[in-house]
Structure 1
Amino acid sequence: MRYFIEFSYDGSAYHGWQRQPKAISIQQTMEEAMSTLLRSEVKLVGAGRTDAGVHARQLFAHFDLDEAPDYADLVHRLNSFLPEDISVKRILPVIPNAHARFDALERTYEYVVVQRKDPFLFNWAHYVHLPLDVQAMNLACAELLKHTDFECFSKSNTDVKTYVCHLKEASWSEQEDRLVFRITADRFLRNMVRAIVGTLLDVGLGKSAVEDVNHIIKSRNRSEAGVSVPAKGLYLTRISYPESLFQIHG
């Protein structure tokens, strides 16, 4: 039987989601915990990869088990067994061919910027002390939504077959003492959000004009875009799936 597991984590201490040969990852930590508790090898297939230092408020992975577990009890035991920076929310039975990555309809990321030094947000936000023109940054966001090819924001030497992503939303909002960039799309390229944020911050700082965004995207050249901002301010916040995946008939 196949199951989805929903969880969240603070990525500060991990080398991203995916297993690494010589570094600790979220995937390895969770697989080892689940395999120990279930007394059977568990392999997780995540909805996507987050880079080292990136956080997730919501992420899903799928796994297979021969016997149905007591869902609530397994969630409780996992949360007792896992490190404090990883939390499991729920485990859901799904249809046999459900896939955490390929069946995802949309993904939403948020990037947090603070404009005053705050020791309590040091590991969870990017500090920019210079004034930012948020209105100009949102005008630049509107330009992003006119495009679908985002090769200029992709990490170099990736093995993707297409750089096409369909953006649904991209905007900045002021929330109390922080600026939050929110972006939703059907898929994202590796390093894409951090490169977009770096480019938008250049607009906000007056280093680039709003209309420069179109030139950058059309260039399809990573060196034309802004620098990648630090991973610590990035959060994967939502993944949506078709309801049909969860319609199990016994």
Structure 2
Amino acid sequence: MYNYKLTIQYDGTDYFGWQIQKNKITVQQKIIEAIEVILKEKVNLIGSGRTDAGVHALGQTANFRYPDEFDTNKFVYSLNSLLPNDIAIKKIERVTENFHARYDAKERKYIYLFSHTKSPFYLRYSYLYPPIRNIDIKLLNELSATFLGKKDFTSFCRAKSTVKNKICEVTEINWFRRSDFTIFTISADRFLHGMVRALAGTILKTALNDKNAESLQKILDEKDRKSAGEALPAKGLFLYKVRY
């Protein structure tokens, strides 16, 4: 059995996230349908993780197994010709038979993009939030350091989540500015449903209300989603890359 790893980019605007859902259009569904047209066989496409409705990806990864070997370059071309314009396969490569896109991932990195000024070219891929340009980046980074390390992120997970283990290890979290944008980046071994957008929104709210890192620690300790701030819109969030 041969195992193939895909590196995928997509504009999540018109999809109900990555994972297949009944009666909803998802990215995983579109890719599986295209693969099965080419191979004329059912496949199990395993993603590195779910992205929510409206969230984009610059470096999503997935794998599937197939009994025969094929030319990966030709396969990429054929697959992209069948996929809609908002989904692209950047690379397909042979990997070891036991490789698993989700369970073998060591770190996932997300970026969230804020735009300072209105532009029709930023609309789908960033959150227009002009007040952010007046917030001290140093303050945002000082507040964000609260979340470094292995923590229980129950307060930043959707309340209806059925996941029992809410502990994640955040290895990097930063804010910086580039031209018309402020960019939030975060890396961790795993992420909970809605975690990145809730974290970024809560850090911003804390900075705007002149509160300190102790207030963020208190939110963590309370383990209650109602304690944290509102989640930011999905359109500014990108799964940047997955490290194995």
Q: What TM bracket, shorter-length normalisation?
A: over 0.9
Point out 4+ residue stretches in structure 1 off by more than 6 angstroms.
Answer: none
- In the TM superposition, what whole-angstrom CA distance separates every residue of 1:203-242 from its partner, at most 9, and x where no partner exists? 232264333111111111111111000000000001011x
One of 143, 147, 152 as aligned partner of 1:149? 152
| Residues 137 and 80 (structure 1), Cα distance of their counterparts in 2 relative to 1, 3 Å cut | same
- Partner in structure 2 of residue 18 of structure 1: 19
In structure 2, what is the Cα distance between the partners aligned to 1:202 and 1:233?
Answer: 17
**Correspondence for 1:3:** 4
Does residue 197 of structure 1 match 2:207?
A: no
Decide which of 220, 225, 228 is 1:222's aligned counterpart: 225
**2:118 corresponds to:** 117
Residue 79 of structure 1: how far off its partner (Å)? 1.2
CA distance in 1 between partners of 2:214 and 2:161 (Å) = 28
Aligned residues: 241
Equivalent residues in 2 for 1:23-172 (5 A)?
23-130=24-131, 131-145=134-148, 148-172=151-175
Q: Deviations over 1:138-169 (max 9, x none)?
A: 11111111551111101112122311111110
Moved more, 227-236 or 37-46: 37-46
Which residue is 1:240 aligned to?
Answer: 243
Counterpart of 2:238 in 1: which secondary structure?
Answer: strand
| TM score, norm. by length of structure 2 | 0.95
| Paired residues of 1:7 and 1:60 also in contact (CA < 8 A) | yes
Distance 2:186 2:60 in 1: 16
Q: Which amino acid aligns with 1:85?
A: D
Q: Percent identity?
A: 39
Question: Compared with structure 1, are the counterparts of its residues 6 and 146 closer, same or farther at alpha carbon in structure 2 (3 Å cutoff)?
Answer: closer
* In 1: Cα distance, 2:211 partner to 2:93 partner: 46
- Is the Cα contact below 8 Å between 2:149 and 2:169 reproduced in 1? no
RMSD: 1.3
Matches of 1:172 and 1:203 in 2, distance apart? Answer: 14
Report how far residue 193 of structure 1 moved.
Answer: 0.3
Asked whether the equivalents of residues 44 and 63 of structure 1 are also in contact (C-alpha less than 8 Å), the reply is: yes
- When normalised by structure 1's length, the TM-score is 0.93
Mark the runs of 5 or more structure 2 residues left unpaired by the alignment: none
State the secondary structure of the residue aligned to 2:120: coil
Higher strand share: 2
d(CA) in 2 for partners of 1:6, 1:146: 28
Moved more, 225-234 or 110-119: 110-119
Does the CA contact (< 8 Å) of 1:16 and 1:51 recur in 2? Answer: yes
Distance 2:9 2:150 in 1: 31
Distance in 1 of aligned mates of 2:25 and 2:149:
39
